[in-house]
Structure 1
């Protein structure tokens, strides 16, 4: 994967070193072009360190604008009003705009990440729309404090990975473009009184990795979130649902509009029978009566029979045979198309870990040994794409 990163003269250029490093962590080779104004903010040596390659600041006899135009992706981050407007009208008076025009002629994917004062952002809205109509992708900035601010670098990298995948031979053959994917994640919280409650130790990391992988493969992603202990990309639509009841209520609204639902949230098996209206006194012992919570995954197919349903089944300290049998029962009860089962007692694969060890069932059975949750997400999305 080869990315040409174009850094222009926004103050957000100071984030370009971190961005280049993150792109390389994702497996990309990065070549950098810098404008004169960008060089006034950060030294080209910094970008050479970040990318491991010489930085292009001037066009020479090597005709760099042609040499690097047929790359896998051109990423303009940050993108100023100047570079956007000149490219909208195909003005080539600097190395970056000359590269962009050449890349556009080769139909190379191009992504812009605007960063400027909001008045300038509003002023170039027409130019942005003109480029969008020509097939150019824009990653929306954070609009706050009177500025169109640079998004989080992890979101920029995720958008870049999406563009690279969709324009790769693999992505052109099999993708989720046009599909709406709903992912639940995290733990639910069941109130005892106004200040206390019962919950579980789910971090939401697995659900977030599933959502990221679905987005990378072209889906429009909605996350239904309980308590989450990891960052959620701003590229997703997020619906918060603290309790089991709220999650069930939200599913009634969300399931009809989605093609795939991955139920990765650890929804409570029990709720409090009678909640205290105020803060319960701690002056005496308390007996807490719990009632079984509904298995909300079992109602999904009733709401939308055509949805592709993926369930997760966690057990504690059981044999592989018991784990598979438990997952099969849940699969039959919920009419799920796919079930992912894991034993949270496995060392290194417990709650909050960045790794997991799972068994994937869809009639057949696949064992995924201990690996990163990001890798497991890829395996799960592979299976979804095989079946859709």
Structure 2
């Protein structure tokens, strides 16, 4: 991980109960040698006092856009230019909406408009607020604007409910910050000897499962967690690539330096890949895309009938995204994944030939300690003229080795 010594980080705390976690985050950053300055919104001060954050940061807390003392020297502009990275944690639904639509009527929103530093948002809100269409539209706008989105986690919430919307823990936010500076470090180094293996390359990756709706409450899916695809995206970004990650429904934080597009179904994933494919150098199809989907989706919840012991659902084939990419004119170098439960290498080779791709990464998901939902994996990388086994390791380490192998082929 990149050192955080002497890095300048501006932490913006907005209104939400998760604000209670920010003193620990500041303390951890200070332990890493980071210089931290804090901005609080009016709502944030309802949950935690400025004095607390001033004590742990060692710097005065800023909270007023029109503070005469600060604005004599254009304080908000000074802060905006000072930061190497701006982190908004917690980022409430209101804060996300204000940034998405360019508000500039308080210190928080004005700083984020007036800076050329990267801005990372760490969402925290009730599960229904997070899933609300308005929040998801704002999320898409923010991602299109280049904002980093870290989280949210899924778990118990202060309101007593359980679901997506819980803010990352301080140690997880610290890890995201470290990964961000690691990923961007190679882009700022003057010596070519440290340039990333994929510097100047554009990489498109799919990850996670897809969900194919049966009715408004049921769907077909699989056990993919998305961890392998996200690890590959992180590894590619660290090697200097411009990475776009098309992610099925999974509760994982977006890797530093990666543009993320969230989708649900195979058709949505196909459309997102098609829209992002132009001028890509490398495509990695790591997602576990459902092969079939229901032929029709019931408009209302399907009810079981008295005496009914069977239900038949007609399925139709989903698009083969990987094969489709490989068939396009000027297609990028294509890498696929084969999750098998038997005859792993034999089935993987058939898939390599059938889809017309350059490399396939095969793994045995019958082992419950590896593959789906595990943090570990063991794979074999197969191409037309080579075969390389990568022994059991963390998915992050395997991703690093795979990116090195793939980059040697480009």
For normalisation by structure 1, the TM-score amounts to 0.67
Conserved in 2, the CA contact under 8 Å of 1:162 and 1:215?
A: yes
Conserved in 2, the CA contact under 8 Å of 1:256 and 1:303?
A: no
Relative to 1, partners in 2 of residues 1:15 and 1:171: Cα closer, same or farther, differing over 3 Å? Answer: farther
Q: What SS does the corresponding residue of 2:274 show, helix, strand or coil?
A: helix
In structure 1, the residue matched to 2:85 is 112
Looking at structure 1, the residues matched to 4 and 51 of structure 2 have their Cα atoms a distance apart, in angstroms, of 23
In structure 1, the residue matched to 2:168 is none
Which of the residues 349, 352, 358 maps onto 2:373?
Answer: 352
In structure 2, the residue matched to 1:140 is 119
Which of the residues 78, 92, 96 maps onto 1:85?
Answer: 78
Q: State the number of aligned residues.
A: 318
Q: What SS does the corresponding residue of 1:223 show, helix, strand or coil?
A: strand
The 5 A counterparts of 1:15-164 are 15=22, 18=25, 21=28, 30-33=32-35, 41=52, 82=75, 85=78, 111-113=84-86, 119-120=106-107, 128-129=115-116, 138-142=117-121, 152=150, 153=173, 154-164=175-185
Compute the RMSD of aligned alpha carbons.
4.2
The 5 A counterparts of 1:1-388 are 2-6=3-7, 15=22, 18=25, 21=28, 30-33=32-35, 41=52, 82=75, 85=78, 111-113=84-86, 119-120=106-107, 128-129=115-116, 138-142=117-121, 152=150, 153=173, 154-166=175-187, 172-233=194-255, 235-283=257-305, 284=308, 285-316=310-341, 318=342, 322-362=343-383, 363-388=385-410
Q: What SS does the corresponding residue of 1:4 show, helix, strand or coil?
A: coil
Aligned-residue offset at 1:7: 6.1
Relative to 1, partners in 2 of residues 1:82 and 1:360: Cα closer, same or farther, differing over 3 Å? Answer: farther
Runs of at least 5 residues in structure 2 that lack an aligned partner in the other structure: 14-18, 40-49, 59-73, 90-103, 126-146, 151-172
Looking at structure 1, the residues matched to 30 and 53 of structure 2 have their Cα atoms a distance apart, in angstroms, of 19
Residues 192-214 of structure 1, C-alpha deviation per residue, up to 9 Å, x if partnerless? 23332211111111111111112
Q: What SS does the corresponding residue of 2:5 show, helix, strand or coil?
A: strand
Q: What SS does the corresponding residue of 1:361 show, helix, strand or coil?
A: strand
Conserved in 2, the CA contact under 8 Å of 1:19 and 1:157?
A: no
Conserved in 2, the CA contact under 8 Å of 1:9 and 1:41?
A: no
For normalisation by structure 2, the TM-score amounts to 0.64
Residues 207-233 of structure 1, C-alpha deviation per residue, up to 9 Å, x if partnerless? 111111122222222221222132334
Conserved in 2, the CA contact under 8 Å of 1:11 and 1:41?
A: no
Relative to 1, partners in 2 of residues 1:323 and 1:32: Cα closer, same or farther, differing over 3 Å? Answer: same
